[in-house]
Amino acid sequence: MLESFRSNMKGVALGITILIAVVFIFSGTGTVFLANSSNGAVASVGETEISEFDLLRSISNQKQQILEQNPDLDTSLISDDILRPAALERLIRREVLVQTAQKNGLSMSESSINSEILNVEGFKTDGKFDQDRYKFVLQNQGYTHASFKQMLNNDLVVQQLISGVSETAFVTEFENQSLASVSEQSRTYYYLTIPVSKYSLEVSVSDDEISDFYQNNPNDFMTEEQLKIDYIELKPEMLADKNAISEEMVQTRFEAELADLDLTESRRVSHILITENNDTLIDEINAKIAANASFESLVSEYSEDFGSASVGGDLGFTSGETFPDSFEEAVMELNIGEVSGPVQTESGIHFIKLTEIQKDEYVYEDEKARIMEDLANEAVSEIFVEKLEILRELSFNAESLSEVAEDAGLLVKTTDYFPRSGGKGVASNNVVINAAFSDDVLVEGYASEVLELGDDYFTVIKLNEFKDEELRP
């Protein structure tokens, strides 16, 4: 399952781990034996046996990885006999590392292992952990729930061991001293401030000098060319009129929405899941439930649904169609706070607790403001499209924007003078600036086409007055 991690380790880390394995083997701490497959074991590391089944599974995983990376590869080139030696060596090396990690006290908590399982993409459906998919994948790989968790635990402690070796660093005394000599340095410096005002009083410029400079550098004293424009704006908020929406219109919309709603009663449930039908375990859980033990603590102790175990077994709300029939039937029999007896589904055995009942409500007063706004927006949308079409039709070759505004039921506004760098309000928009200084508007005197300044924000502009650049007095 996590073969890809081992096959993609960095070269340095891999070399270090091989060295660890060699030292571990030849130190006598763990001894590797190749065994006859007739007894089910193909090798042993210390007292741990590597079975023929483990080897075949490793070969299968390796073959699948190779084919995924090379889909056009001839499968005859990767027979089991070819892959077997490397797969066995990899399993031996892994077991040596596992035992080395365990000897050095490395371990993983139950919650860390559960978290890893929850994050495996192969166990998810629509981005969420799927208990049934988890069981299906494990069965296809030949794992039980317990053996998979043990395999995952071994992989994680090996990762810890590798990280502990490959990411370890040391600092020499010379480096410490060099760092300290730089970071702890201090500086003393002097500075001198020269006041400009003191010397500016000693400089005098005559009127003739000023006049000569003015006459000789006219470009420095030219004003920018400027213009002001007439414009018509169109925005939805300019058209909105909530007073046009009557109480009767709101009531009619509310009743129509209410008729389309399915106001079902929803129940919130939590559960404990055990995947194997173990009578002893079922009796033990039943006894603790009868003794009023905390349901959340029982979830933490017994539940094998990793997706809900971290939140007290909470599965959220169901309207009666979320879970299998037997599960839903048991939920319907419960009162809030009650826990069911064992319920059988394809996922396993469930102990179900009803934690909340919620009935959807649709109240007129709660929805009134929203419906009124919806109706106003719908009305505005129709009017907005109509007025936009009027602007587009009438502004073309219009002699004056006043007539266009009157026909469209809008207002004509006028900007202050502004240069090519822009001005205030609508004159700060680059689309408007470019259109205002275009030949069509500035030279020919035409009204612009309808300009889009943003989402549902349009304008039409026309030259009002132009000032050419001139020499400042």
CA gap 134, 124 in Å, rounded: 8
pLDDT in tens, 393-427: 888 878 889 989 988 889 999 999 999 999 999 99
| pLDDT at res. 37 | 43
User: Is pLDDT of 451 > 90?
Assistant: yes
Q: Are 440 and 460 in contact (CB under 8 A)?
A: no
| The residue count for the chain | 473
Most confident of 60-64, 122-126, 339-343: 339-343
User: Is pLDDT of 210 > 60?
Assistant: yes
CA gap 107, 118 in Å, rounded: 19
User: Is pLDDT of 384 > 70?
Assistant: yes
pLDDT in tens, 264-289: 788 899 999 998 888 999 999 999 99
Query: How confident is residue 242, by pLDDT bands cut at 50, 70 and 90?
Result: low
Helix (H, G, I), strand (E, B) or coil at 302: helix
User: Is pLDDT of 350 > 90?
Assistant: yes
The chain-wide mean pLDDT, for the chain, equals 83
Q: Once rounded to an integer, what is the mean pLDDT over residues 214-243?
A: 86
| pLDDT at res. 431 | 95
The residues pairing with 145 across neighbouring beta strands, listed in sequence order, are none
Q: Once rounded to an integer, what is the mean pLDDT over residues 27-34?
A: 43
Q: Once rounded to an integer, what is the mean pLDDT over residues 48-56?
A: 85
Q: Are 349 and 342 in contact (CB under 8 A)?
A: yes
Query: How confident is residue 3, by pLDDT bands cut at 50, 70 and 90?
Result: very low
Query: How confident is residue 329, by pLDDT bands cut at 50, 70 and 90?
Result: very high
CA gap 159, 108 in Å, rounded: 11
User: Is pLDDT of 305 > 90?
Assistant: no
For the sheet with 265-274, list strands across it.
314-318, 265-274, 348-359, 343-345
- Residues 6+ away with beta carbon under 8 Å from 448: 395, 435, 436, 438, 440, 441, 460, 461, 462
Give residue for tokens 């190749």.
Answer: 34
CA gap 92, 195 in Å, rounded: 81
H/E element, 315: strand 314-318
SS3 assignment for 335-400 = CCCCECCCEEECCEEEEEEEEEEEECCCCHHHHHHHHHHHHHHHHHHHHHHHHHHHHHHHCCCCCC
Give the residue among 257, 267, 231 at the shortest CA–CA distance from 353.
267
CA gap 434, 452 in Å, rounded: 13
User: Is pLDDT of 12 > 60?
Assistant: no
- Residues 6+ away with beta carbon under 8 Å from 265: 319, 357, 358, 359, 360
Q: pTM for the complete prediction? A: 0.38
Query: How confident is residue 26, by pLDDT bands cut at 50, 70 and 90?
Result: very low
Query: How confident is residue 19, by pLDDT bands cut at 50, 70 and 90?
Result: very low
CA gap 145, 125 in Å, rounded: 19
Listed range (79-83, 165-169, 289-293, 361-365) with the worst mean pLDDT: 165-169
Q: Once rounded to an integer, what is the mean pLDDT over residues 201-222?
A: 86
- The larger pLDDT score, comparing residue 5 to residue 163, is at 163
Give the residue among 440, 385, 415 at the shortest CA–CA distance from 234.
385
- The larger pLDDT score, comparing residue 331 to residue 172, is at 331
Q: Once rounded to an integer, what is the mean pLDDT over residues 323-330?
A: 92
| pLDDT at res. 254 | 86
Query: How confident is residue 2, by pLDDT bands cut at 50, 70 and 90?
Result: very low
